[in-house]
Amino acid sequence: MRDLVIDLDSVVRTFGAITAVDDLTLKVPAGSVTVLLGPNGAGKTTTVRLITGALIADSGTIRVLGFDPNKDGGEIRARTGVVPPKPAMYDNLTGADNLRFAADLWGVNGDGIEAAADRFDISYALDQDVGGYSTGMRTRLALARAVIHDPDVLLLDEPTAGLDPESSRAVLDLIRELAGRGRTILMCTHLLHEAEGIADQVVLMGDGTARTAGHPADLAAAFLEHPTVVFDAENRDQLEKATGHAAVIRHEWNGGLHLTLDSMETLPDLVTELVKSGVRLTRVEPQLPTLEHLYFEMQRAMREEDG
């Protein structure tokens, strides 16, 4: 197993009577992309703040890059980049001023400023005051600011909230690029399609704790054990025959007949039987499990578990 870059063990953080993070254990290996999924209020933002030492945990242990944020927060923050949900800038300063400020804090020279701006295609607007930037421009500037010091760890907290598709793509491209260079990335989101295809690990958070975690494929195997296959036919009425088949767990009409089967191994038998009974099939399409399916299935399983 790769070294853990972020290692939270039984971490608790309360705000008065509210427990924002409750017995959270989170392991993020070096060079991986971990996605924290969860609804608003699940404790994702507090987790990011605990990781950088911006907040201190009430109990539990945290190690980031081998350091304790409570004692060596400066070391952690020097090697970490953060993109908060609504990146705030100094609006009456130019984009260049904002980047230079970040460069000064992280000890980056002028070349680093230009490189960061070029990387997110914001160089053309560096002489303008940030107050005149669009949301997308602000986010691109925030991304440039977050990676200006080439951090070992990048923490993205809802980075694409309210963004246009072009800016969203810039965020996801950044994640892929940094992951390709061996950087460790933790992204919080409740937009499931964002995490699709980039996550090495998905952590479902709820009520301040990690309800379950794992590789998307492993989680899919655990939570989506029954595959769904979409059927269609020249005469849809004939598809009713399939709904009573022994292999079918449930069915739903939605632009075709969506059948949930007990396993993929029963699919050939089902198709054969339908063909033999005279159904002229026009579509037999197994649905690939998506994070969205997974998320809602996990949520459903958790609710059942909680009683």
Partner 1 sequence: MRWDRVWAIARVDLKRLFKSRDYWIPMSLLAGVFFVVMPFFMLSAMSSVSATSLVQQIGGVLESLPGPIQEGLQGQSPEGRAAYAFAVYLLAPIAIIVPLTISSAVGANTIVGERERGTGEFLAHSPLTEREIYVGKLIASVIPGYLATVVGFAIYSLIVNLKVGPEVGGWFFPTAGWWVLILWVVPPFIAIALSVILWVSARVKSAAAAQQASTLVTLPIIVIAYAISSGLIFDPTRSALAVGLVAWIIAGIGLASGGKAVNRERLLGIGMEGS
Residues near partner 1 (CB under 8 A): 15, 49, 52-55, 74, 77-78, 80, 82, 84, 86-93, 97, 101-102, 104-107, 145
Closest approach, Cβ 141 to partner 1, in A, equals 12
Phi/psi at 74 (5° precision): -60, -40
Task: Write the CA distances from 229 to 112, 220, 224, 249, 291, integer angstroms.
Answer: 51, 16, 13, 12, 17
Whether the Cβ atoms of residue 143 and residue 71 lie closer than 8 Å to each other:
no
What's the half-sphere exposure (Cβ side, CA atoms, 13 Å) at 147? 24
Closest CA to 28 of 175, 192, 153, 142: 153
Whether the Cβ atoms of residue 238 and residue 264 lie closer than 8 Å to each other:
no
What's the half-sphere exposure (Cβ side, CA atoms, 13 Å) at 171? 29
Comparison of 28 and 220: residue with beta carbon closer to partner 1: 28
Comparison of 26 and 202: residue with beta carbon closer to partner 1: 26
Give the CA-trace dihedral at 221, 224, 230, 231, to 10 degrees.
Answer: 80
Closest approach, Cβ 85 to partner 1, in A, equals 9
Closest approach, Cβ 83 to partner 1, in A, equals 10
Comparison of 89 and 239: residue with beta carbon closer to partner 1: 89
Closest CA to 37 of 159, 205, 179, 185: 205
Letter string b/e over residues 178-203, b meaning 16 or more CB atoms within 10 A of that residue's CB: bbeeebbbbbbbbebebbeeebbbbb
Phi/psi at 64 (5° precision): -130, 120
Closest CA to 45 of 167, 208, 172: 208
Closest approach, Cβ 49 to partner 1, in A, equals 7
Closest approach, Cβ 130 to partner 1, in A, equals 11
Closest CA to 106 of 139, 140, 79: 79
Comparison of 32 and 46: residue with beta carbon closer to partner 1: 46
Whether the Cβ atoms of residue 11 and residue 59 lie closer than 8 Å to each other:
yes
Comparison of 189 and 228: residue with beta carbon closer to partner 1: 189
Closest approach, Cβ 262 to partner 1, in A, equals 49
Comparison of 152 and 297: residue with beta carbon closer to partner 1: 152
Other CB atoms within 10 Å distance of the CB of residue 285: 12
Closest approach, Cβ 78 to partner 1, in A, equals 4
Comparison of 106 and 230: residue with beta carbon closer to partner 1: 106
Comparison of 85 and 214: residue with beta carbon closer to partner 1: 85
Closest approach, Cβ 240 to partner 1, in A, equals 57
